[in-house]
Structure formats: structure tokens, C-alpha cells
Structure 1
């Protein structure tokens, strides 16, 4: 994971788990995350997207929170195991490896025990029975899920593994070929091969996200904005199957921090290229639009976004 055996998880990693907001509240479906960007927060928000995909969307009590968290975690692990098997890691009392000079102890990695399952429902049921291991304070829940993900399938690209079940290192569609100066032959670059339940949006001049990730089966997207991860979703299941719905629709945005008390509701107005001519007045879009708006426009080109009185969130 870190390129060496002397690196251990930071404090931010170790304290991260999957904790929900207050049950039966307006935000009962969201996970609490910290300002720490990347790493654990990225994993939490990817799981958040799967939780919303399962709920779509209602207030939930504590037991409902636990059930949907177990379903979201088991979904990702089952996909990572190519829908054949999945492995769950839990911390036990006994040391499972002998400490050596080239390994730095962290007091939980060396006590991991692996549980492998060949039926999807068994994975979900086992996680639900041990849900406290992932959600309680001090449980190292995010790290346990990360280890489970890696043990279910070794990865090069963790976010793609979380979203699609395949550890492809690129976010474009299908396969591409690259000719590097120091390589005499063309080398295949593997992207995303199929649509996933949850999508991914990222605005970047260098990295283009393919339509497989932009158009998931459910209207829920993990977003990467200025290195921080958040979730964008719609309550309208037909948004991705009926182009007429895309003319004006609502999106909800959650950035994962405790300072956000309610989801931001955005109204998106969008015209397809065959309906109107572009009225873009030019200039650098980075200076004209909020980063979230730029991210939304990678999916709906030329769209206008109304924040409905909410101050733009960062």
C-alpha cells in the first residue's frame, strides 16, 4: 500500500470509521467524515455513494443505517471478488504474524483475521453481524474495509475497484494504446469496460472520464473536486434513461463534512446539442464557474446550475 514496510497508517486513517449522522433525521443517510482529504475520506465517500444508491431516499433509523451500510460494504467487496467470492478482515485478539525487524507494528494489522465467502448474501449477513467493527469509534473501520477490499482483489486503482469491481488504473472507456519513448512496442492501457451502479465525475484538463462512469445504472456519482471527494445524486431514477428529463432536474450534493447540515439542492438546466446552439461567451471556465459546476458540466455540457439560495459549497 505504501511502498515500504516501515510506513504505518496516520492518525487520520486510524480514527476513521463508518459513522452515520443522527438516526431519523434529515441527514440520517449520510456518513460523517473529516476535513482530511483523500485517503480515508475518499473511501468513505465512495461507500456513501453506494448507501444512497440503496436508499434513494428516506429517513432511516439506527438499524436501517446498519443494514444499508452492510449492503454497501458487501456490494463493493463482492464486485472486487469478481462476483465469485469476497474476503472480510476483522481484528482479533491473537497476533496472526510474527513481528520482524523490517515491519513496523501498528497493533491491528498484525492481528487481522480473514474470512472468505463464496455467496454474496453470506458476505452481507456476516458484515451486518459484525457491523460494530466498521462503525464504532476506534474500530479502524475504514482501514478494515480497505484491507477487505485488497484481500478480495489486489488493486492498482482503488476508486475504480470500489465503483466497478475492477482495479483498472484509468477512467476512460475500454482499452487504449500508448507508445512510450522507452518502449519499442505499443502497450495497452485498460480503462472501464462496463457501466457500474454508481458513477464518477471529475473535471480535469488532463484526465477525461469516460461515459461508462459518467452514466451509471443509478443517478449517484462520486465526485473528485480539487482533490476532495463528495457525492452528487438525484432522486429521479429516470434521469439516466430519459433524455427529456435532462432538460431540467434536481441534483443533491453532500461534501461529507459535519458543517453541512442539509443537502444542497441544485437545479440543473440543460439543452442537448441538437436543440440549441452554444451561447458560451468564451474565456477561462475555471474563473467563471464554481468547481462543482465544472464537474457537473463534464456530464451535461453547457448546463446552467442554480444553487437555489444556498451559498456554493467547497
Structure 2
């Protein structure tokens, strides 16, 4: 039998040179997007035509060259999707900032979904970093915990199971969390995923400040949740890879899944989705509502009760139900402004303490009592995730007498999940009579006060850990 390669002609010198140039161009695009410089006149000319780095990238030092071949963060040409039109790009910026002048800061441009080391105490947890993106990361973290504990098929639902998560499971959990959030924003009928291509796909119109990032975004729309989740899983590095700008891409995907028009209707005023103060860009409560309920309506996270399902709802959208993730808020403000969960007053001596949270009471926002024991917490502007591992906690009042919750803040200083024991047997109405407005009980950690907006008068034990939030 002859040599199998004998029938193939050797490439000519010209073909070999063309092949090498093609490979070099591919890696130049990847390195350019990751902020790595290549000293080449041709490369500099290519950057002038394809646009500069994503917003804010020029303000930060680029990452060090990888020791291994990086996974592609950009889509090759001809992969489908549709570009963002100039008019849509302007509407997007106006919705985010209320004008076209601001662009995302360095912290936003660098933010992506990065897990702690697999098979560690925080294997399930995202590294939140600093800046205004922490609210988005914390909300996605809540959905990740929901999936790892209660959605996927697993033999046990305890904290140790979260610590045994491997790298593949991390990627699957992130893909599921992103897909679930986008599907909810699309009203249960659509999801839009935003990814980036190397060349500019649209030209900015007059009056629009180009940032060379939005112009490279392509929209991929799905009418089935499984297809959207599979697509995100196949391109998960576009959200979790360093230099991917994954948080911004996810925020864009969220808005386009909802549609810009419906987001504007949800807001109902001229307030932007992002606040800018002293150079810091932070999320408004409308963004948190979109992440948790699928609608950019802060009322759904506030103290006012929403209309019942079917009452004035938009056609084509699923009725409003209790979501899988809840929301608790505590602000260092006058008492009448501090409550976002249950009323802090006692239900009366005859009411079983655990019954306070079994079902939403009149006037209680739905977000305070989710289907599963997982809450996004907003504590004086800082965000973390409070969760339990017992699925029965919110459906059986007997489980709410003495129970355990866990808290992850995302702060770099936290190396282990905080373990809290909640006792709802405390006589909170007697304690309220003993304590004055300036007593130490009024200056407890914000997390404890947020818990007490849900379980009135409960005592919280940190089990040996110094309260830190």
C-alpha cells in the first residue's frame, strides 16, 4: 500500500505564505481585542479601520500575554446574527445613560463572569471585583445558586455540594443562569444573545458617540430557551473570558431580550438605567428588577403590592408569579424607608413565628417571598446573596422556626461562605418595647436588619464569624 500522502501535491511557496498570513491575521484580531499590542504598521492600520478597543479599555493596562493559546473571544465573520443599526445604537445609549455622551468606565469594560477556583470553598461563587457591576454579578450569582442547589439533578442539596463544583459545572451553571434570566426578560417567548465580531458591523449616525464596541455587537435571537442556553454554552468564553467584556454583553442581551421599547415602558419616566456619580457607574433598581423579575419596573421590588396576574398585563407576556430569586433591601435611612420585605411590626402573639414568611401577606411585595430560598440583598448600596439549602423553607412554616442561611458578599476578603442561624422564636414585640431609638439593637449589621424585614424580630447568629456586612 502506497504512501497516503503521495497523491497530494506539496503546497507552492505562494500558497504556504498566504496560509501563514491568514493565521497571523486571525491571532492579531484576538490579541487586539484582548488589549495586547503587536508592533506592526499593518496591524495599526487594521485597528484604525476596525475601531479601537472596547469602551474604557484604553484607560487600563492590558492583561499579560497568556501562557497558553487563548480561546477566541470574537465571532468569525459569517456566523449569522444581525448587527445593531445606528438608530438602535443611539436608543441603547440613551436608555442606559439618558444621553449619548457617557461611555462605560474601565471597571465596566474589564468586568466579566469569573469563578473562584473549582473544588474549593467558594467553587460556586463569582468573583465580584469592584465597581457598579457588582449588582449584576450578584444577581447572576443568585441564579447560579438556584440552579446548582435546586434545578439540576443532584443527590444532595447542601453547602458541601456547592464546594465540589468543577470547572465544567461552573460553565454550565453560568450558561443556565444567563439563559434563564434572558428568557424571563423576553416574557417567556424569546431571548436575544449579544456577541462581538472583529469588524465594525454598523456605522454611527451623527450625534452618536461611537465606542467601537457596540458597533461590533451582533444579535442572535432564539424562540426556544434550550436553543438559547445551548448557544450561550457553546460561546461561554465570550462572557467569562478575561477581556471579553462579558458583563456589558450580558446587559445588552438583557435589554434586547426585553426590547428597548418595553424597557422604556417599564421605566415610565426619564430616569436612565445607570447612574453616574463622581465617575462611578452604578445600576438603578430598575436593572435589578429586570434581572430578577424580567421587567425593568422598580415597583416590583418595592413595598407596594403589584396588580394580580391578568390585571392590566401586556399581551403575549406570562402572568406575574413568584420568581425563583427574591429581593431584600436595607438602607441606613429613617425607619419608614428601611423596609422592603415584611412589615417589621409583630403579627401578634397568636401567629406562629414561621407563618410570617410562608406566603405573601397583604401589602408584601412578591420579591420578598420567592419560590426558592435565595435572595439578592441590597444593603446600603452593597450587594450580596443570602440563601438556604432547604427547599421547604418557604412552603412549610414549621421549617421557619429555627433554620440556617448562608451569605456570600463577593468581597475579596471573604474566603468562606458565612453560616447564619435564624431563630424566629424570639419575642420581638417585647424587645421592641425595651429598645430605644438609639439602643445598640438599632445599629446591628445591615444583613441582620434585612433578614428581620423578612422574619420580624428574628435573632441571627453568625456562628463564630465576625459580622462583616
SS at match of 1:278: helix
Partner residue in 2 for 1:309: 464
1:263 aligns with 2:409: no
Which protein has the bigger helix share? 2
Q: CA deviation at 1:101?
A: 4.4
Aligned with residue 295 of structure 1, among 450, 456, 459: 450
Q: Which moved more, 1:8-17 or 1:283-292?
A: 283-292
Among 217, 226, 234, the alignment partner of 1:121 is: 226
Distance 1:215 1:10, change over 3 A: same
- Map of 2:52 onto structure 1: none
Structure 2 residue aligned with 1:19: 114
Aligned to 1:4: 99
Give the 5 Å matches for 1:227-242: 227-242=381-396
| Distance in 2 (alpha carbons) for counterparts of 1:292 and 1:141 | 29
**Mapping of residues 205-284 of structure 1, within 5 Å:** 205-206=336-337, 208-209=340-341, 210-271=364-425, 278-280=430-432, 281-284=434-437
Q: TM-score, normalised by structure 1?
A: 0.89
Q: How many aligned residue pairs are there?
A: 297
Quick one: distance in 1 between partners of 2:144 and 2:423? 27
Q: Match of 1:302, SS? A: coil
SS of corresponding position for 2:405: strand
Partner Cα distance (1:143, 1:262) in 2: 28
Deviation (angstroms), 1:175: 4.0
User: Which structure has the larger Rg over C-alpha atoms?
Assistant: 2
Distance 1:144 1:114 in 2: 10
Structure 2: runs of 5+ lacking an equivalent: 1-95, 150-158, 268-285, 313-318, 342-363
Of residues 169, 186, 194, the one that matches 2:321 is: 194
Give deviations 1:177-232, integer Å, cap 9, x for gaps.
xxxxxxxxxxx9xxx94310000001243263434111101100000001011000
Q: Deviations over 1:225-266 (max 9, x none)?
A: 010110000011111111111111111011112211000101
Equivalence for 1:106: 211
Query: What is the distance in 2 between the residues matched to 1:267 and 1:2?
Result: 41
> Which residue is equivalent to 1:33?
128
Report the Cα offset of residue 26 of structure 1. 1.6
CA displacement 1:29-86 (0-9 Å, x = unmatched): 00001132xx311010000000000112522111100001000000000000001001
Query: 2:67 corresponds to which residue?
Result: none
Higher strand residue share: 1
Instruction: Give the distance between the partners of 2:411 and 2:177, measured in 1 at CA.
Output: 20
Select 2:138's aligned residue among 29, 38, 45: 45
**Correspondence 1:144-155 to 2 at 5 A:** 144-153=249-258, 154=260, 155=263
- Could you tell me which runs of 5 or more consecutive residues in structure 1 were left unpaired when the two chains were aligned: 177-187
Residue in 2 that maps onto 1:71: 176
Q: Which stretch shows the higher mean deviation, 146-155 or 285-294?
A: 285-294
Q: CA deviation at 1:277?
A: 5.1
Counterpart of 1:80 in structure 2 is 185
- 1:158 Cα deviation (Å)? 1.6
Q: Any conservation in 2 of the 1:193–1:212 contact (CA below 8 Å)?
A: no
Q: 1:277 to 1:100 in 2, by over 3 A?
A: closer
Distance of 1:43 and 1:197 partners within structure 2: 16
Instruction: Please tell me whether residue 160 in structure 1 is matched to residue 289 in structure 2.
Output: yes
- Please tell me whether the aligned partners of residues 109 and 245 of structure 2 are also in contact (alpha carbons under 8 angstroms): yes
CA RMSD of aligned residues (A): 2.1
Aligned to 1:174: 306
Task: Pick closer, same or farther for the CA change 1:270–1:95 going to 2, 3 Å.
Answer: same
